[in-house]
Amino acid sequence: MPKKETNWDKVPVIFDLAYAATLLGISLDSLHKLCQKGQFPAFKVGKLWRVNKDDLMTYIDQRKVS
């Protein structure tokens, strides 16, 4: 599993669910279920799920508690 990155500039533009799960601090299984339900902004390349960095950042921003 990738090291949890704190500098967004070093996060790749497109990455897999394992990397996204690490960044979010949740299990890969939980994130995979969110993707299948359409509750997480991911897309498929063939059979593999991929995440866009900007989509992930928006997803996080939309869930911030004020």
Where along the chain do its domains lie?
Answer: 12-62
Query: What number is the average pLDDT over the span 37-65?
Result: 95
- pTM for the predicted model, two decimal places: 0.85
Residue position matching structure tokens 């279920």: 33
Please state which CATH number belongs to domain 12-62.
1.10.10
User: What type of residue is 64?
Assistant: K
pLDDT of 7 reads 83
Rounded to whole angstroms, the Cα distance separating 42 from 34 reads: 9
Q: pLDDT per residue over 9-43, tens digit each? A: 889 999 999 999 999 999 999 999 999 999 999 99
